């Protein structure tokens, strides 16, 4: 008996979000290759489908962080101010400039490979401690944070991950505590995914390209992510951060290598 794609999407969203939510990643970055290869979502419709996943799944982890008093902070508005316009720009670029599946697979590889290797390197090679009496590393300035968020938002709009999923590991690598970054990154992902999904919906009315999301699959994945995100946020204080970061890095590297090979064959 064939299992409906929606049930598979629900299970995939649940498992991925449970693992990724504790470090401030919605899971869309890992769900996208599953939608392409397993469920056969066409390009570029896979991007708004992934944004739909973020919209539905996001409140799960956010509700748990809010319940624990960790959701609101000064970092959240800085990230949203950059990623919100960036994701709209990225959505337009995705539809009109990068519609081909081969180019899209190369883009996936170019994003996932360096991100995965960077996560592994940062996790396994601890940052040098300052000398006694020396100054600790300064966190990025508000202007730098917003500028970085803008660039990541553009990439996220093209890739269908909302932007916050890339900001999380980048900011933790710059020295910000994960307890502060994770809720802010997920909140940014949720807000920008709303804007990105809306942009794709409007673009689908202006041309013949298949840029509307796969509603049933996106909703099924999102419901799984809603549950998994809540569980993952609840587990964050109990799971070793090092283990989660290494796991995310290995997954990103493997998926990036697979899609790079597929694009070149």
Measured distance CA(216)–CA(120) in Å, rounded: 35
- Token representation of residue 12: 């995939």
- Angle between the 28-37 and 164-173 helix axes, to the nearest 10 degrees? 140
Domain boundaries, the chain: 5-125+139-264
**The pLDDT value given to residue 1:** 45
- Token representation of residue 135: 């100054």
**The pLDDT value given to residue 231:** 92
> Per-residue pLDDT tens for 138-164?
667 888 889 988 988 887 777 666 666
State CA 202 to chain mean position distance.
Answer: 22
Q: Tell me how many degrees the CA angle 99-164-222 measures, rounded to the nearest 5.
A: 75
> Per-residue pLDDT tens for 40-64?
887 767 778 888 898 899 898 898 8
**The pLDDT value given to residue 215:** 84
Q: What are phi and psi of 260, to 5 degrees?
A: -65, -40
The answer to whether residues 109 and 260 touch, using CB atoms and an 8 Å cutoff, is yes
**The pLDDT value given to residue 134:** 38
Measured distance CA(161)–CA(150) in Å, rounded: 14
Who's near 51: CB < 8 A, 6+ residues apart?
28, 160, 162, 193, 196, 197, 200, 213
Low-confidence ranges of the chain (pLDDT < 50): 1, 128-136
What is the sign of the dihedral through the CA atoms of 44, 102, 186 and 230?
positive
Mean pLDDT, the chain, integer = 79
The answer to whether residues 116 and 250 touch, using CB atoms and an 8 Å cutoff, is yes
Going by the DSSP 8-state scheme, the letter that residue 207 receives in this structure is S
**The pLDDT value given to residue 136:** 41
Q: How far is CA 133 from CA 58, 126, 127, 228, 246, in A?
A: 42, 20, 17, 44, 32
């Amino acid at each position: 008996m064939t299992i409906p794609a929606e049930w598979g999407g629900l299970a995939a969203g649940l498992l991925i979000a449970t693992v990724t939510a504790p470090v401030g990643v919605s899971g869309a970055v890992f769900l996208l290759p599953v939608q392409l290869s397993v469920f056969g979502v066409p390009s570029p419709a896979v991007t708004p489908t992934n944004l739909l996943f973020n919209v539905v799944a996001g409140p799960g982890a956010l509700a748990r962080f809010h319940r624990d008093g960790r959701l609101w902070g000064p970092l959240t508005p800085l990230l949203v101010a950059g990623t919100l316009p960036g994701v709209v720009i990225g959505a337009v670029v995705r539809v009109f400039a990068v519609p081909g599946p081969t180019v899209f697979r190369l883009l996936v590889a170019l994003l996932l490979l360096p991100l995965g290797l960077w996560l592994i390197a940062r996790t396994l090679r601890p940052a040098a401690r300052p000398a006694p009496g020396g100054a600790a590393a300064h966190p990025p300035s508000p202007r730098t944070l917003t500028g970085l968020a803008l660039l990541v938002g553009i990439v996220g709009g093209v890739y269908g991950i909302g932007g916050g999923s890339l900001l999380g590991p980048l900011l933790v690598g710059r020295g910000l505590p994960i307890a502060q970054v994770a809720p802010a990154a997920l909140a940014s992902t949720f807000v920008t995914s709303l804007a990105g999904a809306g942009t794709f919906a409007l673009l689908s009315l202006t041309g013949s390209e298949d840029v509307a999301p796969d509603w049933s699959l996106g909703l099924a994945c999102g419901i799984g992510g809603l549950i998994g995100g809540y569980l993952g946020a609840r587990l964050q204080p109990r799971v070793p951060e090092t283990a989660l970061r290494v796991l995310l890095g290995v997954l990103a590297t493997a998926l990036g290598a697979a899609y790079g090979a597929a694009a070149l064959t």
